[in-house]
Amino acid sequence: MKDLIRAALAVLIVSALLMWANAELGKSAGKAGADTITVYNWGEYLDPDLLKEFTKETGIRVVYETFDSNEAMMTKIQQGGTSYDIAIPSEYMIEKMKENDLLIPLDHSKIPNLKHIDPYFLDLPFDPGNEFSIPYFWGTVGIAFNPELLDGDYDFSSWEDLWDPALRQKVILVDSAREVIGMGLNSLGYSLNSTDEKELDEASEKLATLAPNVKAIIGDEIVEMMQRKEAAIALTWSGQAADMMSVNEELDYAVPEEGSNLWFDNMVIPKTAANVDGAHKFINFMLDPEVAAQNADWVGYSTPNKDALDLMDPELVDDERYYPDEEIRDHLEVYRNLGPEMLGDYNERFLKFKMEMN
Amino acid sequence: MQSKSARALYLIPYGAWILLFVVAPIALVGYYSLFDLHGSFTFGNYRNFFSSIYLRLTLSSFWYAFLITLFSLLIAYPTAYYLTKTKHKQLWLLLIIIPSWINLLLKTYAFIGIFGQYGPINALFAAIGIGNKQILFTDFSFIFVSVYIFIPFMILPIFNAIDRLNPALIDASRDLGANSWTTFRRVILPLTMNGVKSGIQVTFIPALSLFMITRLIAGNKVITLGTAIEQQFLVTQNWGMGSTIAVFLILFMFIIMLFTEQREKGGTGNGRNR
């Protein structure tokens, strides 16, 4: 019994010490300070040096947290436990958050750097007049591939190439319903926002025939698999493809001609914000051409900041794979918020697709 | 009198715990399963569960959980048996248990490397002339890794049961003329059945709802009830349907518990007292 008490006491003392140390660390990290903002962003989606620079410039400390899906982000903001001041959702999620009244309107007079943004990326259907959101990065969905691992000459200018029987067990798909079902729809020439059950049935049937070629359906692990030559072909986002290529130069990226997804991630101020003024300063800071250029360099996705482009490596900026010109962009499609029923339908089709893979 | 009220007092923390963390969550799951996406009352989620997708999903979950449990048992029983015969059995047991303290995700990621195109297994295959094989993202790799993860949980209760077996009973069986197979079948196995049942419980039930391994090792080509629940909650945000699948998972668990119930008296010290 004595031993038990002694052991329990030891545990309590150690826990108390750790808690105290944690609180002290929190203080020095600025968690308890008055002028802080909490930024909620995708993983690997912001150059950490810029956060330090922001603090140096404005005196506002940044608490940085990450998420790995739009849906998880929205759930957390809806619950409202943490006072997120900035979040960076994708376009269809902005539409949804607007519907659910989760966003605070922006004061454009506090964001003078907005003038640096290419007008192409402003005033888009998901947020007319940019009342709630400011462009952060944009990109496409396409096919990353390793020509060295493929026999024959593939350029993946068509989705149909993926169905080539010679590519048995070579294709990795991203674990995301909209991307995969969208690919099925696009390959048949339908819109990737289709809500027509007949078109969706056709797309599902078409996707089922891809089974022999599918090696796996995974998440962010794709990047490493492609870098290490574990896989030859991957359906992925342009930025992830850029990530892969930064390590393995053999790789290439293509957006098939039948059409694909064009997406935007925008900065918003959620209803949970405690420091709306600081959040505006942060948005304005990120739009500064030099900051945007440095960030785009680090992250690898395409920046909508036209003045930042002049400061970047011209070889990258002129690369049609990352910065497709307007003509190509115009036949790409932006995701629309399809509503919960259709999203459920897409997900059930995706679940069925996964079961057909085996 | 005093001891009675004291006993009631001791029950409070336990009762509160059960109420807050067992009864309340299950009740909530049941409650949520009765609502659709718009928050109106419906039995539609249950109807939807009996559509082809979810039934097939359930069947395939059971099939894989069965295979995982079977192979775990086939490996664990002899291992546990020989462990009880070794000299430093506690030490050996500890060596088997230690890997189960390492984070599941870490072990899973290690297997991605081991099974990879350029991993040690494929290097071995190439060296002995079999040639490069796709191991990762197959049924084999999924079952192998799952069995690897569950083996310690299967070994422990069986080890305890065999260890507690009175050796005099085996001698008696031999003296009465039974050969070793009959001894095993008629004496050892029935007396260690409780350990086996506990082992099956702690393996089969979690195996039904595995979800991280299905993605990382099986590349989402194997889908379990766990994956479906995760998707309903995190992606579709259809809490009703997610809860419905969870309700069925709980039901299946109860059924399995019934089948593997410990019937014998005197089986006080079964393997679950770890």
Cβ atoms of residues B79 and B72 within 8 Å: no
Q: Which residues of A are annotated as a binding site for spermidine?
A: 44, 92
For the stretch B248-260, pLDDT in tens is: 999 999 999 898 8
On whether any CB of chain B is under 8 Å from the CB of A212, the answer is no
A247: closest CA of chain B, how far (Å): 17
Burial (CB count <10 Å: 0-12, 13-18, 19+), residue B181: exposed
Mind spelling out the 3-state secondary structure of chain B? CHHHHHHHHHHHHHHHHHHHHHHHHHHHHHHHCCECCCCCECCHHHHHHCCHHHHHHHHHHHHHHHHHHHHHHHHHHHHHHHHHHCCCHHHHHHHHHHHHHCCHHHHHHHHHHHHCCCCHHHHHHHHCCCCCCCCCCCHHHHHHHHHHHHHHHHHHHHHHHHHCCCHHHHHHHHHCCCCHHHHHHHHHHHHHHHHHHHHHHHHHHHHHCCCHHHHHCCCCCCCCHHHHHHHHHHHHCCHHHHHHHHHHHHHHHHHHHHHCCCCCCCCCCCCCCC
User: CA nearest B48 in A: which residue?
Assistant: A348
On whether any CB of chain B is under 8 Å from the CB of A211, the answer is no
End-to-end Cα distance, chain A: 56
d(CA A169, CA B217): 15
Q: How many residues does chain B have?
A: 274
pLDDT class of B199 with cuts at 50, 70, 90: very high
On whether any CB of chain A is under 8 Å from the CB of B262, the answer is no
User: CA nearest B215 in A: which residue?
Assistant: A218
Inter-chain residue contact B216 with A218, CB threshold 8 Å = yes
A2 pLDDT above the threshold of 60: yes
d(CA A153, CA B185): 63
On whether any CB of chain A is under 8 Å from the CB of B234, the answer is yes
Cβ atoms of residues B207 and B64 within 8 Å: yes
d(CA B258, CA B274): 21
B263: closest CA of chain A, how far (Å): 34
B210 pLDDT above the threshold of 90: no
Give pLDDT, residue B2: 61
Cβ atoms of residues B66 and B204 within 8 Å: yes
Q: Which backbone phi and psi does A302 adopt, to 5 degrees?
A: -90, 135
B139: closest CA of chain A, how far (Å): 8
- Give A218's contacts in chain B (Cβ within 8 Å): 215-216, 219-220
Higher-pLDDT residue of B126, A25: B126
pLDDT class of B274 with cuts at 50, 70, 90: very low
Pairing relationship of beta strands A133-145 and A233-237 according to DSSP bridges:
antiparallel
CA distances from A114 to A122, A288, B160 (A): 10, 9, 70
d(CA A155, CA A254): 7
Burial (CB count <10 Å: 0-12, 13-18, 19+), residue B229: buried
d(CA A347, CA B236): 7
Residue B70: how many other CB atoms lie within 10 Å: 15
pLDDT class of B269 with cuts at 50, 70, 90: very low
Mean pLDDT computed over B88-93: 90
Among B219, B237, B241, select the one facing A217 at the smallest CB separation.
B219
Domains observed in chain B: 52-259 (1.10.3720.10)
On whether any CB of chain B is under 8 Å from the CB of A221, the answer is yes
B132 pLDDT above the threshold of 60: yes
d(CA A151, CA A158): 17
Among B57, B137, B236, select the one facing A215 at the smallest CB separation.
B137
For the stretch A79-115, pLDDT in tens is: 888 889 999 999 999 999 999 999 999 999 999 999 9
Cβ atoms of residues A195 and A292 within 8 Å: no
On whether any CB of chain A is under 8 Å from the CB of B213, the answer is no
Inter-chain residue contact A228 with B241, CB threshold 8 Å = no
Q: Which two tokens mark B193?
A: 């059945």
CA distances from B173 to A118, B38, B77, B82, B190 (A): 88, 67, 21, 19, 13
User: CA nearest B218 in A: which residue?
Assistant: A216
Structure ipTM: 0.82
Mutate to test the interface with A, among B109, B135, B220 (most CBs of A within 10 A): B220
Mean pLDDT computed over B72-97: 92
On whether any CB of chain B is under 8 Å from the CB of A175, the answer is yes
For A134-153, b/e burial (b = at least 16 CB within 10 A) is bbbbbbbbbbbbbeebeeee
End-to-end Cα distance, chain B: 34
Domains observed in chain A: 33-138+264-324 (3.40.190.10), 139-262+333-356 (3.40.190.10)
- Give A217's contacts in chain B (Cβ within 8 Å): 215, 219-221
Give pLDDT, residue A26: 61
Angle at B222 between CA B217 and CA B228, to 5 degrees: 110
B61: closest CA of chain A, how far (Å): 11
A218: closest CA of chain B, how far (Å): 6
- Give A343's contacts in chain B (Cβ within 8 Å): 235-237
- Give B137's contacts in chain A (Cβ within 8 Å): 215-216
Q: How high is the mean pLDDT of chain A?
A: 90
On whether any CB of chain A is under 8 Å from the CB of B136, the answer is yes
B235: closest CA of chain A, how far (Å): 6
B264 pLDDT above the threshold of 70: no
Mean pLDDT computed over B216-244: 87
Inter-chain residue contact A221 with B236, CB threshold 8 Å = no
pLDDT class of A29 with cuts at 50, 70, 90: low
Cβ atoms of residues A181 and A202 within 8 Å: no
Higher-pLDDT residue of B230, A143: A143
pLDDT class of B51 with cuts at 50, 70, 90: confident
Give pLDDT, residue A43: 85
A138 pLDDT above the threshold of 60: yes
A46 in the Ramachandran plot: left (φ > 0), alpha (ψ -120 to 50) or beta? beta
